[in-house]
Structure 1
Amino acid sequence: MTTPRIRALALCVFHHQGRILVHRFDDPVTGQTLFRPVGGGIEFGETSAQAIVREVQEELDQTVDHLRLVGTLESLFTYNNTPGHEIVQVYDGQFRDQRLYQMACLTGHESDGMAFQVTWQDSSAFTDSAPLVPEGLYPLLKNAGLLD
């Protein structure tokens, strides 16, 4: 069994015209639908902003500009029946390729090669039964004027 640890994470919402870019997925144990922005773990020796640039390049093959730290969240959660604990740096940023904002979805690839899709969603997509995660992200974005 793996020793529990706190994971440092960086996420970017790519806010555009009242929508943010999110990955929709389901908890395999509970079946609950969840939405989460693009990003991933911060590697030793890199800043959270550098992690965003690297993750977006690796997963979506895209370049990021104008990163702005929106806030920090601490997330305690259970996913796939496993407890998790993350410190999350939340960013807003822009894609260098402006055409991406007109696309309904983008296809990305995890480090293991598994494909995934991200879509542009407004606040109406996020509900109690299908929340935006990590917990506290929705109010953070609403207070920053990035979601209605």
Structure 2
Amino acid sequence: MTTQRIRALALCVFHHDGKILVNEAYDPVKQQTFFRPIGGGIEFGETSAQAVAREVQEELGLPITDVRLLGTLESLFTYAGTPGHEIVQVYDATFVEASVYELPHLNAQESNGAAFIAKWHSCASFTNESPLVPDGLYELLKKVSLLD
């Protein structure tokens, strides 16, 4: 039996032309698609800003700059039938390579080796049936004017 714990995460919202870069994922139990920005767990001894830069480098192989904290969210959720609890530091940043913003998608890789594709999505992509996660992220991005 695994011990339940609160997980500390750092996510990065890259925005361009009214769209943000997200990973599309699927919950097989809920039979629901959802979207989440690039990022992941904060390791012991690293700041959340360092974690977001490391995660982007690991997942996309790209350096970032102008890292700026947008806010903190607390997320209680269930994924694949398992409850989760996360404290999420949400960042904005800029890719060093400006050409990245012209790509329709970016090939990416999770730390476990699983490949995924990150795509640019407008706010119209996020619905109750296919939400942007974690909870509260959509509202935070509208508040700081990163989504229309």
Q: CA deviation at 1:102?
A: 0.5
Show the counterpart of 2:83.
83
In structure 1, how many angstroms separate the alpha carbons of the residues matched to 2:141 and 2:103? 22
Show the counterpart of 1:51.
51
Name the count of aligned residue pairs: 148
Q: CA deviation at 1:106?
A: 0.3
Q: What is the TM-score of this pair, normalised by structure 1?
A: 0.98
RMSD: 0.6
In structure 2, how many angstroms separate the alpha carbons of the residues matched to 1:22 and 1:10? 14
- Counterpart residue type for residue 69 of structure 2: L
Q: CA deviation at 1:79?
A: 0.2
- Counterpart residue type for residue 141 of structure 1: L
In structure 2, how many angstroms separate the alpha carbons of the residues matched to 1:31 and 1:51? 30
Show the counterpart of 1:15.
15
Query: 1:63-120: per-residue Cα shift (whole Å, max 9, x none)?
Result: 0100110000000000000000000000010000111100110011112221100000
Q: Which has the higher strand share?
A: 2
Q: What is the TM-score of this pair, normalised by structure 2?
A: 0.98
Query: 1:8-34: per-residue Cα shift (whole Å, max 9, x none)?
Result: 000001111211100001101111010
- Counterpart residue type for residue 128 of structure 2: D
In structure 1, how many angstroms separate the alpha carbons of the residues matched to 2:6 and 2:22? 23
Structure 1 stretches of 5 or more lacking a match?
Answer: none
Query: 1:116-148: per-residue Cα shift (whole Å, max 9, x none)?
Result: 000001100000100000000000000000001
Aligned residues with identical type, % of pairs: 63
In structure 1, how many angstroms separate the alpha carbons of the residues matched to 2:103 and 2:16? 12
Structure 2 stretches of 5 or more lacking a match?
Answer: none
- Counterpart residue type for residue 45 of structure 2: G
Show the counterpart of 1:32.
32
Equivalent residue runs for 1:117-132 within 5 Å? 117-132=117-132
In structure 2, how many angstroms separate the alpha carbons of the residues matched to 1:100 and 1:48? 23
Moved more, 14-23 or 68-77: 14-23
In structure 1, how many angstroms separate the alpha carbons of the residues matched to 2:112 and 2:134? 23
Runs of 4+ in 1 over 3 A off after TM superposition: none
In structure 2, how many angstroms separate the alpha carbons of the residues matched to 1:15 and 1:69? 14
